[in-house]
Each structure stands twice: as C-alpha cells, then as structure tokens.
Structure 1
C-alpha cells in the first residue's frame, strides 16, 4: 500500500461502514493518526491499515509520539505528537480561528467538523468535540444558546465565549418579487421555501418563529426540502427553485441574484469544556479571540459585529 494515499473522514466512514462522528472519535482518541490539509482532515492509508490490523488483534508498532510540554501527556489523546482539537460549525470565522490556533498554540492540531449547532452540542456531550459553535434561539425567552447548552451539557463544567454577532434573515430573489418581509408572509399560498437540515441554527430559528407565529410547517411548500448549508439555501432561491430561505447575511453576498432581508441579530458563541487537560489551550483560545490580529482579520469580512468577541458569557 502506497504511503502517498490518504483518505478524508467521509471516505474513512464509508470504508469502515461507521458514522463520521465515530471517525472523529477515533481521531480524537489517537487511534487514527490524522492531519489537516486546508479545510479537510486526512488519514494516511498506512495508518488506516494499521488501525484495521489492530482491531483484528494483530500487533502493529505505533508511530513515534513526541510529547509537548504544553499538553499533559495522554497517549489516547495524542496524534503524531499533537493533541487534536475538533472545532465544529460552518462559519468562515471558525476557519480563521483554526488557522490562528495552528500558528500560535504549540502542541495542538485544530481539526474542523462541519456540523450544525445541535449536533455540535451533542457531539460535545459525547466527548467527540472540543470547541463547539452554536447559534440556537430559544423563542420563549429570546435568549441565544444558553437554554440549549444548560439542558444538553447538564452536570458538565464548561464556559461559553462569544465569537461574534451576525444577522440572520430571509434570502429572496433580487428585487423581492414576492414582497416577502416577515415571518407571517410564510403563510401565504404558493410561497416555496428552501429549508435547512434539522439541528442547524437556521432550522431552529425557523421552527421557533413558526411556533410563535402559529404557522404549521405543513402549510409551507418545500418545508421538507433540506439543504446542508447557507449557500445551498441561497442557491435554491437564486435559481428560482424556491422563493425564500432562512440564513445568514454573508451567503447572500456570495450568491448572485439573491437579496438579504435582516430579521434578527444572532449571537454566535463558542462552548469549551473546563477540564484540567484543556486549561492551557482554552486560555490561549480566549487570548486569540481578543487579539487585534484575529479581530482585524474578521473585520475584513462583511456582516460581523465583534462588540462581544472574546467575552466569557457564562461558565460553570
């Protein structure tokens, strides 16, 4: 088997017939050595084969592990001498954060997992992620994130830090031909929706607003049609396959023939588990969030409000 062959996490999941989250768990535990190329995590074929042989009870010599003094040595959590930090979410700001972590914190390797807010919190509860991003609206209180975090991470020790504020709202075609302005317009006959997948922040926002406005999902044409990201929703609107979709402002600036109608400013927060082994890198992450270098890079991206960035909003 050639040492030059490598696989993505999706390919590993298919080859082993397991979920992608299980792949991340194997990587986090150090059972599958990995590295990052751009936005992708990759596993070399030789390491995949070694893992398969070990599961069959065949002893394979492990690759050498270099211990960094920044990270308390834990063989089950080491990958090629680096402690992997799985960061969940889809916003580009998380890629910027991952780059800063890689450049400024020694002994760790940031890995990206592109999953929605609810799935991110569940993965943290299962011990499968380290930095979780979330933007979940509780319609009854108007509060973002904390009601969900408290319920899902009950009994855990964690802290919640703001990453940024951003606008969420409607994508409509240029010129807004259907004159869609607010949530009640979704009741109108013939309005076609491009929806997000269950568990995403945009889907939770929509479902909470439908509940508060007394709109039944089965009243809306296209409610069952799901896209996995904001660009997918905006693309459906742009092509005329849908009249409206819910998402963030940035996607509308990327996709042609799409106009954005702001409806709510959402708080996009990070959650990190407070464990002795995490203490040092968490301190460094907060320093990065507050740094001029990180914030200046985000300021170059339209649509972000950094007035709360780096503030600890809640901790247990």
Structure 2
C-alpha cells in the first residue's frame, strides 16, 4: 500500500549562503551506538571512505569536529556532534504526533480518490507507541488516526467526530478528579470499553543513573533537574496525582514548569543532557538507551458507541487486536503487555479496579 510519510528535514546555511542538506544524522547515530566509524558507515549503507569524506565536509562547514577518531580506541561524538544528534531527535519526537495526524488525513483522501472502499475507522487517541502500531496492522479496513489528549479524544467521540477514543488510566492510583473527568464522557448505557494494552510509567534517567535517582523524593534535590509533560496530558495527570500522594509540591521541583509533548520528547530531552530526569513510559527510555525507574502501571483503553461495536468494521478491528502478529509487536515494546487485548470489559468493573481518593490539583 502506497502511503504518505511526513518527516522533518534539516537545512543548514552559513553567513556566506552555503547550504548543506544533512545526510549524516544516521551516521552520527551509528557512531553513538557502535563507537566505530566502520560499523556506522555499514549501518547507513555507505563506504568508509564516503563516511570519512562526509565528516570532513561537515567539519569544514562548521569549523569544528563532529566525530572524534582515535586509532585503536574507536570513534565517539564530539560535543557538537552530540548536540546535533540530540537536536534532531528532539525535533522528531516533538513533531511526531502532528506530522502523523497530517499524514493520516492525506492518506485517507488519497485512498478515497483511488476508490479503496474498505470501511474507515476514525480513531482519536492519546499518543503512544502501541497506538502508533495500529495503522501498520489493519486488514480489511482503513484507519484515520488522529493524536490528541485523552479528554479531547473522549469529547470527539461524544460529538460523533470519531468512532473510537483512546485514553489511559493508572492501574492503582486513580484520583477522584480524573475519575470524574473521564466518567462524565463514558456513559454506561451508551458506550463500551475495550482492553488495549498495559504499559509501565516511571522516571526516565540518564544511562547508568549517575545521580542515583530512586524515586519522587529525589526530584526535590537541588542537583536534579526535571522535564515535565504538558498540562492536559494523561501522563501529567498521573504525575500530579502521584506527587500529591507523596506530599511533594511542584514548587519544590527544579524544572517542573518546563514541558514536552510526547514520551519520546521527554526521553530525548534527558538523553541530550538538558534534564536529569522526566516522567514517561519505559519504551521511550529504551529507545534512547536510558535507564528507567518504574513507578506505576497504566491501562490504555479504547471506547466506542455500543452500536459501532456491532458493526463489520469493529469486528475486523477486534480481530486485528487479537491477532498474533499484533500481539507480538506490542509485547516487543519494553514495559508493554497486551493481555486481553480486544476484550470488551464492563464499565463498572473498570472504575472499581482503581484506588480512588479525593485530591487537589498540584
């Protein structure tokens, strides 16, 4: 199937008007991963000579080395090389939801033009690694996937702007405030909830955890800088609740007001050394080679109208969720489990499964 993919592209321009369109981010990533220019060049699919010439070209452009080579000791990124690599990672992580939303819209319009008549399922959901797998496994139907906050997704479902909404709930520590927010959208007589995945949330820290961070109490240390998720995200709501239960005020945390918009962006921020820790899923930490301190499990759930559950499109969708290939793809994500994926669950059971307590917004 031919699909539109949209990715950010970089162009550098100096004061003399010289421009370079970078082809070396993959090379820098390979050097960072393997510690050898030969292995990095092989991964990128270019010769060692070409890789060497590429690095020399960029060194001349910037007037500084990007990779340091030492005979018998391999290769490693210079401070400039590290900054470039992590800048590219941060940009990709931050823009990923918006670019995928646009790509999904364009692909749907192209398929309509090509008269592909498979049913379309409109999914509005909080961004995540498991949700991103859905368009890769659909068979016999099309997916129009739009990323947005859980509250916005549930509101879209109520307005009839989507067929399925995705949201996530902590397994144990569900605040009364979050329960009230979600329950006003999910009415028992009108909707059905479907199991999707369970994922691990926690503190993302630098490789080797050099500051010895063990939990939330370490966030109030003067030598620890934090990077937060944006207000309105489910991860931010969970973090606020956990901090409240730990009797920790946001004012005690250095960097609490600095925000990023995806789990990947949080991990990229920490990997770049711009913060010592952030709150996110284990899969994001693994993607960037970082350490992870588990804190809370979340159930990521899907909700739809009862009538839609009985249709052909939903029948095919649930079959995809239960398929061995899709389950294997979920289980390959660090910290993710797909137990009961596709099963319909009772809404009263859903609310009863979490330990709720009244809490103020922190």
Post-superposition offset of 1:307:
2.0
1:244 and 2:277 are equivalent in the alignment: yes
CA distance in 2, matches of 1:142, 1:307: 24
Larger Rg: 2
Per the alignment, in what secondary structure is the counterpart of residue 178 of structure 1?
coil
Q: Where do 5+ consecutive residues of structure 1 fail to align?
A: 1-5, 9-35, 48-62, 69-80
* Match 2:103 to one of 31, 34, 40: 40
1:98 aligns with 2:135: yes
Native 8 Å contact 2:191 2:306 kept in 1: yes
Tell me the SS of whatever aligns to 2:196: strand
The CA distance in 2 between the partners of 1:223 and 1:216, in whole Å, is 10
Q: Is the 8 A contact 1:169 1:249 kept in 2?
A: yes
TM-score (norm 1): 0.67
Distance in 2 (alpha carbons) for counterparts of 1:92 and 1:230: 9
1:160-179 equivalences under 5 Å are 160-179=193-212
Select 2:144's aligned residue among 91, 111, 121. Answer: 111
Correspondences of 1:68-79 after superposition (within 5 Å): none
Are the structure 2 counterparts of residues 178 and 274 from structure 1 closer, same or farther at C-alpha, using a change threshold of 3 Å? same
Question: Corresponding residue for 2:55?
Answer: none
Q: Deviations over 1:213-244 (max 9, x none)?
A: 12121221211111010111111111221111
What are the Cα deviations for residues 281-309 of structure 1, in whole angstroms up to 9, with x where unaligned?
A: 22322222122232133233333212232
Matched with 1:313 is 345
Any residues of structure 2 matched to 1:204-215 within 5 Å, and which? 204-215=237-248
Residue in 2 aligned with 1:128? Answer: 161
Q: How do 1:42-57 and structure 2 match up within 5 A?
A: 42-43=105-106
Superposed CA deviations along residues 53-82 of structure 1, whole A, max 9, x for unmatched, are: xxxxxxxxxx999796xxxxxxxxxxxx85
Within 2, Cα distance between the matches of 1:253 and 1:198?
A: 24
Matched residues in 2 for 1:161 and 1:259: separation? 31
Is the CA contact (8 Å cut-off) linking 2:194 and 2:343 kept in structure 1?
yes
Decide whether the 8 Å contact of 2:151 with 2:182 is kept in 1: no
The CA distance in 2 between the partners of 1:250 and 1:291, in whole Å, is: 22
Question: Of 311, 316, 323, which aligns to 1:284?
Answer: 316
5+ residue gaps, structure 2: 7-98, 349-362
Shift in Å at residue 39 of structure 1?
Answer: 7.7
Distance in 2 between residues matched to 1:279 and 1:202, nearest whole Å = 32
Cα offset for 1:171?
0.5
Answer yes or no: is the 8 Å Cα contact 1:136–1:204 preserved in 2.
Answer: no
Number of residue-to-residue matches in the alignment: 249
Give 1:275's aligned residue.
307
TM-score normalised per structure 2: 0.59
Q: How large is the Cα RMSD of the aligned pairs?
A: 3.4
More helix by share: 2
3-state SS of paired residue (1:41): helix
**Is this contact kept in 2: 1:195–1:226, CA < 8 A?**
yes
Could you tell me how far apart the structure 1 residues matched to 2:149 and 2:170 are?
13
